[in-house]
Amino acid sequence: MAAMAALRALRWRLPRTPGPGPARRLSTAEFPSPEEKPQFPGASADFADRLEFIQPNVISGIPVYRVMDRQGHIVNPAEDPQLPKELVLKFYKTMTLLNTMDRILYESQRQGRISFYMTNYGEEGTHVGSAAALDDTDLVFGQYRETGVLMYRGYPLDLFMAQCYGNTSDTGKGRQMPVHYGCRERHFVTISSPLATQIPQAVGAAYTIKRADANRAVICYFGEGAASEGDAHAGFNFAATLECPIIFFCRNNGYAISTPTSEQYRGDGIAARGPGYGLMSIRVDGNDVFAVYNATKEARRRAVAENQPFLIEAMTYRIGHHSTSDDSSAYRSVDEVNYWDKQDHPISRLRHYMLNRGWWDEEEEKGWRKSSRKMVMEAFEQAERKPKPNVQLLFSDVSEMPPHLRRQQEALEQHLQHYGEHYPLEHFEK
């Protein structure tokens, strides 16, 4: 009886017919009875008359999309992006140049020349494949291991070095710790150390782009560890409900510093979370640069055309230590690392593809390795010779300096007047 009374009351609710007049009554055919289908506003589902909890392993696992096998052979010709030789060579040279720069800067930190560094070993394919699929004006929010995206967009070696050294050529004026790059001209938002803060920020930027009808997209990179932060939940949910043109790009590299994925989550990775938020989702082989390219290109196209968010989970492996502050031998075996380095490396896979096509040979490999190392070393030596920014730049670029900062500036000046001989001020710009 109560159900029928509620149904009679609901028949007088909106929608109304156009123009003045009483509300249009809903017929029984338009509003099926509660016995036939649930009418709860919070979900779309059928009734069940059997008590049963949903198991976390209800499916065998979201498949991993790939285009190339580990020997560089195209698995399904229909999925071959048919990229021209010049573009594939750019992929390869960007990935190997990044690898060379990583090795030199890692060693420079170990020698005490810079304070900190993070390598990108093993994840180069996720950077280059995704960067190539974007438009140059698409906005990038990185976490801290997306150097290849900025390199692909043409950020010069001398500015990478200047940032890590914090010298006078550093566009950040030495205020950031190493690897915290940013470039307004290349639409790459400056890296911020706190984990996952970029996710809701990226959604806000995407919503702004949508409101402006700017025909652009936002891509937001993060690791599977960052996906455990509350900011990820907020970002996913806002992006879906506000229908924002954003690509969430998760680099699932197996470890969040020392925490393996087996201790990070119990579900089927990160892509499995997407449907629960209303995100179009896919899992790709992050060591296959073509798979990453295809997935990102299609996600970007649809995100802009349909104003909806996409989630890409790129499965890869972090071959290097988390950073120069980490010793990964304490929580994983050398054999494990060697497997990924020797058997399933994104650079090796793309090299196999190029060799199979006759686009590359051993002589070209030797020549490129030599010339790329020379380029990196020249930028490295130039950066090392330049002085640090003037100490007063600590207090610049503030529209109106508040009193407490002014007091700090005066205190620093007095301190250096009395104890300046104890500091290497000769290495700073006057």
Active site residue 243: no
Q: How far apart are CA 73 and CA 162, in angstroms?
A: 39
Buried b (16+ CB within 10 A) or exposed e, 111-150: eeebeebbbbbbbbbbbbbbbbbbeeebbbbbbbbbbbbb
Structure tokens that stand for 300 in this block: 């970007």
Rounded to the nearest 10 degrees, the angle between the axes of helix 124-133 and helix 346-357 is: 60
| Catalytic residue, candidates 33, 73, 107, 378 | 107
Q: Within a 10 A sphere around the Cβ of 392, how many other Cβ atoms?
A: 12
Active-site residue among 33, 193, 325, 371?
193
Is residue 329 part of the annotated active site? The answer reads no
Task: Provide CB contacts within 8 A for 140, sequence distance 6+.
Answer: 134, 146, 149, 150, 187, 188, 189, 218, 219, 221
By DSSP bridging, strand 255-256 and strand 259-260 are antiparallel
Burial of 19 (0-12, 13-18, 19+ CB in 10 A): exposed
Q: How far apart are CA 51 and CA 69, in angstroms?
A: 44
Q: Which helix (H) or strand (E) holds 280?
A: strand 280-285
- Lookup: tokens for 424: 């290497």
Known catalytic residue: 325? no
Amino acid at 390: N
Give the contacts of 176 (CB within 8 A, at least 6 positions apart): 163, 166, 190, 191
Write the DSSP assignment of 228-261 as a string of letters. Answer: GSHHHHHHHHHHHHHT--EEEEEEE-SEETTEEH
- Beta-carbon contacts of 243 under 8 Å, excluding residues fewer than 6 positions away, are 210, 307, 308, 309
How many CB atoms lie under 10 A from the CB of residue 160?
23
Is 107 annotated in the active site? yes
Q: Given the residues 192, 228, 323, 348, select the one marked as catalytic.
A: 323
- Looking at the DSSP assignment, which residues form a beta bridge with residue 297? none
Residues acting as catalytic residues:
107, 193, 322-323
